[in-house]
Structure 1
Amino acid sequence: MDYPALFQPKWNAKKFLLCNLLALALLLVWIWPAGHAVFTQFDEWFFHLLNRPLLQSKVWLWIWTVASMRPFDIVVGLILLVLLIKGDWVFKAVQTRAALIGFVLTLIVLLIIRTVFSKIIDQTSLQHDSASVVIADAIKLSDLFPGLDKKWQLKDSSSQSFPGDHASVLLIWAMFMSVFSRTAGQRVIIWALAFLFMMPRLVAGAHWGQDDYIGGVMIALLALGWSCYTPFVAVITRFLLRITAPIFNLFGRLPLIGRLSIMKPGARD
């Protein structure tokens, strides 16, 4: 049976330009001294709003302490992966293999863009320490739980806070899924999860808000534009689907793994 291609091997000039122009606009507004001052003032207020309750509520403290541990990132990654390859949710079951490969390629584009951009920013005065380092009265989880920090590495500080790498991954996942989502309910779930999983770094002070809503959004927009709205993902995905088909067919014979949507014989672009 012939299934419609998930990615089209052509340029989508309108959406490509939109992603790049929006990213450029965010960068220019952030660089503009007046805009930068407004963002910083807002972020200080927002950080205190999220951070101060850590000493006022045990529930609030433990929720974000657990969510700030490195192993929790693995849990988040598994949740995002499950929703990506869940057949007949956002993607048809026969398209989940192409969706997975396409998303990994998009992540690679994101990594390249972020690496280049970060090296540029690091050479300027625009790079900054995280909120927990700059704000004197910040409540640091690593100070409250030094044992947990030593064992599980609590993420609550950074000397190179911009852009938010954690947020950029969550945002590109949300954008990628939203491109193919079919209902408002799907988009609500997608973006609610993305914002929820961005919160631990903000509560703990590992990032300022602008690291996410400026830096993270900007990097994600560029990655989306250069991957999904150019022939790149379509061409490489089609090639990888062909050469990996024997591997998927082999693992598809296993009892439990074979039931996954990405193992279905029709899963191709």
Structure 2
Amino acid sequence: MNKPALFRASWNPRGLLLCNLIAIALLCAWVWPAGHTAFTAFDEALFTQLNQPLATNVGWRYVWTVGSLRPFDALVGLILLLLLIRGDWVFKAAQVRQAFWGFIATLVLLLVVRALFSKVCDAMGWQHDSPTLVLPGAVHLSDWYPYLEKKWELKDQSSSSFPGDHASVLLIWAFYMSYNSRRAGQWLVVWALTLLFMMPRLVAGAHWGQDDYIGGMIMALLALGWSCYTPFVAHASTWLVELTNPVFNLLTKLPGIRRLSVVSAS
């Protein structure tokens, strides 16, 4: 049975150009001395508002401590995956498998963008410490819960916080889902979750805001442009679907698993 095509195997010059121009504009605004000063001032004020209550508000501290643990990242990844492969939400049930592999291919492209952008950042001296290593009076969650830092990798500081890798993954997921969304409600859910899951690193101080809304955004826009506005995602997802068909055919024999749209799509 023929499945409806999800991606077009053609170039979209306008979308590709827009993604690249926005990424370049963000970078230029950030490296411009006046812009960099403004971003830093904003980030310092933002960090103070988010971080200082950790010392006095127990509920606030508990919430963001849990959100800063490595196992929570795995939970976030699972939530994003489940929304991605949920049939007849953003993607039609028959398109879910191609959507899944399209996102995997886009993530691979994001890794390439990350590697290249990191080299540029290192060469230009754009790398910097996280706010907890720079600003006096910063609240360190690792000081409150040292056992969590040792056992569960509590993330509240970094000596190389730019660009925000965690944010770039969340943002590329949000862009990818938004690119395929058909209703405003889907768009709102996607971006609300993205912003929520970006918060732990900002509250705990592992990242400045600019690591996310500049560095993470630049990488996500470049990956989106060269994936979804070129033939890349169409060809890569089609090839991966065909390559993994035998595996999914075996999964259809497993009770429970076979009910998932990503498995049952024929």
Q: How many residues align?
A: 266
Verify the 8 A CA contact 2:141 2:156 in the aligned structure 1. Answer: yes
Q: Which residue does 1:155 correspond to in 2?
A: 155
Verify the 8 A CA contact 1:103 1:176 in the aligned structure 2. Answer: yes
- AA aligned to 1:183 is R
Structure 1 residues 46-85: aligned runs within 5 Å: 46-85=46-85
**Unaligned runs of at least 5 residues, structure 2:** none
Aligned partners of 2:173, 2:236: CA distance in 1, in Å?
19
1:144 Cα offset (Å):
1.2
Verify the 8 A CA contact 2:97 2:265 in the aligned structure 1. Answer: no
1:125 Cα offset (Å):
2.6
1:236 Cα offset (Å):
1.5
- AA aligned to 1:198 is M
Aligned partners of 2:236, 2:170: CA distance in 1, in Å?
23
- Is 2:165 the counterpart of 1:165? yes
TM-superposition CA deviations, 1:200-249 (whole Å, max 9, x none): 00000000000001111111000000111111111121112112111111
Q: Which residue does 1:233 correspond to in 2?
A: 233
TM-superposition CA deviations, 1:56-78 (whole Å, max 9, x none): 21000000001100010000000
Q: Which residue does 1:7 correspond to in 2?
A: 7
- Is 2:91 the counterpart of 1:91? yes
- AA aligned to 1:134 is V
Q: Which runs of 4+ in 1 moved over 6 A?
A: none
- AA aligned to 1:219 is M
Aligned partners of 1:138, 1:95: CA distance in 2, in Å?
47
Aligned partners of 2:153, 2:241: CA distance in 1, in Å?
37
1:15 Cα offset (Å):
0.3
Structure 1 residues 65-144: aligned runs within 5 Å: 65-144=65-144
Identity within the alignment, %: 61
- AA aligned to 2:171 is L
Aligned partners of 1:252, 1:80: CA distance in 2, in Å?
23
Q: Which residue does 2:39 correspond to in 1?
A: 39
**Unaligned runs of at least 5 residues, structure 1:** none
Query: Which is further off, 239-248 or 55-64?
Result: 239-248
Aligned partners of 1:236, 1:10: CA distance in 2, in Å?
13
1:136 Cα offset (Å):
1.4
- Is 2:219 the counterpart of 1:219? yes
Q: CA RMSD in A?
A: 0.8
Aligned partners of 2:265, 2:203: CA distance in 1, in Å?
45
Structure 1 residues 244-263: aligned runs within 5 Å: 244-263=244-263
The secondary structure found in structure 2 opposite 1:123 is helix
Verify the 8 A CA contact 1:249 1:265 in the aligned structure 2. Answer: no
- AA aligned to 2:157 is S
1:51 Cα offset (Å):
0.1
Verify the 8 A CA contact 2:68 2:200 in the aligned structure 1. Answer: yes
Aligned partners of 1:50, 1:150: CA distance in 2, in Å?
24
Q: TM-score, normalized by length of structure 2? A: 0.98
- AA aligned to 2:118 is S
The secondary structure found in structure 2 opposite 1:21 is helix
Aligned partners of 1:263, 1:152: CA distance in 2, in Å?
33
Aligned partners of 1:65, 1:102: CA distance in 2, in Å?
33
Aligned partners of 1:146, 1:265: CA distance in 2, in Å?
47
Verify the 8 A CA contact 2:90 2:181 in the aligned structure 1. Answer: yes
- AA aligned to 2:253 is R
1:50 Cα offset (Å):
0.1
